[in-house]
Amino acid sequence: MRETSAPMTPNPTAPSTIDEYIAAARPEVRPILEAIRATIRAAVPEAKERMSYRMPTFVLEGVVLHFAAFRAHIGLYPPVQGDPDLMARIQPYAGPKGNLRLPLDRPIPFDLIGELAAVRARQNRERAATRRAKRSARAARAAERR
Q: What pLDDT, on a 0 to 100 scale, did the predictor assign at position 12?
A: 62
Q: Are 110 and 35 in contact (CB under 8 A)?
A: yes
Q: What pLDDT, on a 0 to 100 scale, did the predictor assign at position 7?
A: 43
The whole-model pTM stands at 0.82
User: Domain residue spans in the chain?
Assistant: 18-145
Q: Are 33 and 25 in contact (CB under 8 A)?
A: yes
The CATH number of 18-145 is 3.90.1150.200
Question: Of 82, 94, 83, 41, which Cα lies nearest the Cα of 64?
Answer: 41
Q: What is the pLDDT of residues 35-63, one digit of tens each?
A: 999 999 999 999 999 999 999 999 999 99
The rounded percent of the chain whose pLDDT value lies above 70 is 92
The rounded percent of the chain whose pLDDT value lies above 90 is 64
Q: What is the pLDDT of residues 99-136, one digit of tens each?
A: 999 999 999 999 999 999 999 999 999 988 888 788 77
Q: What pLDDT, on a 0 to 100 scale, did the predictor assign at position 111?
A: 96
Q: What pLDDT, on a 0 to 100 scale, did the predictor assign at position 59?
A: 97
Q: Does the pLDDT at position 66 exceed 90?
A: yes
Can you tell me the distance from the alpha carbon of 31 to that of 65, in angstroms, rounded to the nearest whole number?
18
- Displacement of CA 110 from its chain's centroid (Å): 15
Can you tell me the distance from the alpha carbon of 109 to that of 47, in angstroms, rounded to the nearest whole number?
21
Q: What pLDDT, on a 0 to 100 scale, did the predictor assign at position 63?
A: 95
- Count the residues in the chain: 146
**Parallel, antiparallel, or unpaired for β 48-52 and 63-69?**
unpaired
